[in-house]
């Protein structure tokens, strides 16, 4: 019998690191990082991202994990325990995963659909013009219910793992999935670099493009055309990406931190989580950019969100027989990445429900799964029955999914992160987090940096990011 008063915990540090890395490594690493890197001039973006990861990302990740382990509470109740009067951050930290869960699982369902398609030999159809649009709008077999079915299967997989618990569910699964994921990304990236593709250009001449040339475009910054505006955009893009990629400001790292044993070395674990997340993002670029460059051409490298479901299937089909296999392996990998992230979102909500209302794990997980089920179906219908003509402040068209993404990522997450920086930087003082990280006498090398970042730099950067999301143009 499950005892609600006894907190689950990770069996070991490795399990914690892999589970947290599993949360961090997700769809963001695989399609968003390469896409932003291609858009913002390759090497420059990577350079800026690395610097921010070591300073800004490290600060936020350390803070949340320390809060979790110190308070031993899920996000809903943790903040109020640090300081009376700051409990209001709890509901924000719980609404974020609550909002993200349904649409993240809808996208997880799309990934599952493409995996099933490639495995069953349907790659060519999926590479066809308009296939993805037909799928989400309900133009394929099963109509509007097909995307719903894939979404529900994905959601139930997450519920299954979370119900099994932190140690037997999340940790055991991450220990298998994360190493496999790493091997797959490395393998596909190496394959990508060996590609050589010959086509005819508009002038009728034969041209050959290689994966290695694409890799050079990905890595080598072109400083000759850089403007101040472009630098600013790159910094903002890199920061927004980092923030999302590390799964901070959504209660998740607080929840996972609360399951870490008191004798674990947090400083070391945090470094490992960051390295894992950054390496996979970098490799995802090395996997996608050279292949798209060589086969589809430089003009398609920043194809945006359509990259994963439209451009890449076409790229795979150009590879001949090998493409079916690479396509299937690619989507297995993406499915793994999406699953471990979605599970962490569900766990953040479940932890909150258990700690605040004393619910049993199974009850909490089923309750949240039921709500996500209803909201997710609404998100699926956003591409057919419930399509509206709505625009975001940046002018792009939005469906229900984009609106939920905008509210959670661009509005609530920066507010929560700024609130957390003020709470720890000024109210509870940085010592609160530093003492937690070093409580067994561990070395914490970037202490001085942490102090400055949490008090001044991180909140200031977050504020600029937030203002920009509201539609203010700095240039
Ligand atoms: N960090 C994940 C990624 O990079 C995204 C994520 C979002 C994870 C929300 C959990 C919750 O894709």
Domains of the chain: 13-469 (1.10.4160)
398-426 residue pLDDT tens: 899 999 989 998 899 999 999 999 999 99
Find the mean pLDDT for residues 153-177: 97
Q: How far apart are CA 215 and CA 436, in angstroms?
A: 42
Q: Is residue 307 pLDDT above 90, yes or no?
A: no
310-321 residue pLDDT tens: 889 999 998 889
Residue (of 189, 197, 126, 115) closest to 150 by Cα position:
115
Q: Is residue 303 pLDDT above 80, yes or no?
A: no
What's the CA-to-centroid distance between 205 and ligand 1, angstroms? 44
Q: Is residue 88 pLDDT above 80, yes or no?
A: yes
What pLDDT sits at residue 305? 65
Q: Is residue 449 pLDDT above 80, yes or no?
A: yes
Q: Is residue 3 pLDDT above 60, yes or no?
A: no
Q: Which of 341, 349, 401 to mutate to test the pocket of ligand 1 (most atoms within 8 A of CB)?
A: 341
- Tell which wins on pLDDT, 306 or 291: 291
The protein residue with its alpha carbon nearest to ligand 1, atom 9, reads: 247
What pLDDT sits at residue 1? 37
Q: Is residue 222 pLDDT above 80, yes or no?
A: no
Say yes or no: CB of residue 100 within 6 Å of ligand 1: yes
Please work out, in degrees rounded to the nearest 5, the angle formed at the alpha carbon of residue 354 by the alpha carbons of 268 and 435: 30
Find the mean pLDDT for residues 436-450: 94
What pLDDT sits at residue 16? 97
Tokens of 248: 């901070």
Say yes or no: CB of residue 269 within 6 Å of ligand 1: no
Percentage of the chain exceeding pLDDT 70: 98
Per-residue confidence band for 223, with pLDDT thresholds at 50, 70 and 90: confident
Q: What is the mean pLDDT of the chain?
A: 93
Say yes or no: CB of residue 413 within 6 Å of ligand 1: no
Helix axes 413-422, 228-245, angle to 10 degrees: 80
Q: How far apart are CA 321 and CA 325, in angstroms?
A: 7
Q: Are 259 and 82 in contact (CB under 8 A)?
A: no
What's the CA-to-centroid distance between 255 and ligand 1, angstroms? 14
Least confident of 70-79, 271-280, 400-409: 400-409
Q: How far apart are CA 260 and CA 281, in angstroms?
A: 25
Say yes or no: CB of residue 303 within 6 Å of ligand 1: no
Tokens of 278: 């950054």
What's the CA-to-centroid distance between 24 and ligand 1, angstroms? 6
Q: Which of 19, 21, 22, 24 to mutate to test the pocket of ligand 1 (most atoms within 8 A of CB)?
A: 24
Q: Which of 21, 23, 351 to mutate to test the pocket of ligand 1 (most atoms within 8 A of CB)?
A: 23
Q: Is residue 2 pLDDT above 70, yes or no?
A: no
101-131 residue pLDDT tens: 999 999 999 999 999 999 999 999 999 889 9
Per-residue confidence band for 469, with pLDDT thresholds at 50, 70 and 90: confident
Find the mean pLDDT for residues 310-335: 93
Q: Which of 244, 248, 250 to mutate to test the pocket of ligand 1 (most atoms within 8 A of CB)?
A: 244
């Amino acid at each position: 019998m499950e005892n609600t008063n006894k907190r689950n915990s990770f069996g070991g540090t490795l399990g914690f690191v892999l589970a947290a890395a599993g949360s961090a490594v997700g769809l963001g690493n695989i399609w968003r990082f390469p896409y932003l890197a291609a858009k913002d001039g390759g090497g420059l973006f990577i350079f800026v991202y690395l610097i921010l990861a070591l300073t800004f990302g490290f600060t936020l990740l350390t803070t949340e994990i320390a809060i979790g382990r110190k308070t031993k509470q899920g996000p809903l109740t943790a903040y109020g325990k640090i300081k009376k009067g700051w409990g209001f951050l709890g509901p924000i930290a719980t609404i974020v995963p609550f909002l993200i869960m349904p649409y993240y699982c809808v996208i997880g369902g799309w990934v599952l659909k493409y995996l099933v398609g490639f495995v069953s030999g349907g790659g060519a159809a999926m590479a066809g013009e308009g296939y993805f649009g037909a799928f989400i709008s309900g133009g394929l077999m099963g109509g509007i219910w097909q995307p719903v079915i894939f979404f529900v299967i994905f959601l139930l997989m997450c519920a299954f793992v979370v119900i099994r618990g932190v140690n037997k569910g999340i940790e055991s699964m991450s220990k298998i999935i994360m190493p496999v994921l790493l091997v797959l990304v490395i393998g596909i990236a190496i394959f990508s670099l060996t590609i050589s593709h010959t086509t005819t250009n508009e002038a009728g001449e034969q041209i050959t493009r290689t994966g290695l040339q694409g890799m050079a475009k990905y890595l080598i910054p072109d400083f000759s055309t850089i403007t101040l505006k472009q630098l600013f955009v790159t910094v903002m893009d890199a920061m927004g990406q980092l923030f999302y990629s590390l799964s901070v400001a959504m209660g998740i790292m607080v929840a996972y931190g609360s399951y870490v044993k008191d004798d674990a070395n947090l400083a070391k674990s945090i470094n490992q989580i960051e390295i894992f997340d950054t390496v996979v993002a970098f490799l995802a670029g090395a996997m996608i950019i050279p292949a798209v460059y060589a086969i589809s051409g430089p003009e398609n490298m920043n194809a945006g969100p359509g990259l994963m479901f439209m451009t890449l299937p076409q790229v795979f089909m150009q590879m001949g027989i090998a493409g079916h296999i690479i396509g299937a392996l690619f989507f297995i990998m993406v499915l793994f990445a999406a699953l471990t992230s979605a599970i962490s979102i569900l766990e953040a909500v479940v932890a909150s429900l258990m700690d605040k209302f004393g619910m049993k794990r199974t009850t909490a997980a089923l309750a949240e799964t039921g709500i996500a089920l209803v909201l997710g179906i609404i998100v699926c219908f956003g591409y057919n029955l419930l399509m509206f003509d709505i625009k975001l402040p940046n002018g792009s068209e939005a469906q229900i999914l984009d609106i939920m993404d905008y509210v959670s990522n661009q509005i609530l997450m920066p507010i929560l992160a700024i609130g957390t920086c003020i709470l720890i930087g000024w109210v509870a003082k940085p010592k609160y987090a530093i003492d937690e990280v070093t409580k067994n006498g561990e070395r914490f090398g970037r202490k001085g940096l942490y102090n400055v970042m949490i008090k001044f730099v991180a909140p200031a950067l977050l504020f600029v990011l937030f203002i920009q999301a509201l539609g203010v143009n700095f240039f």
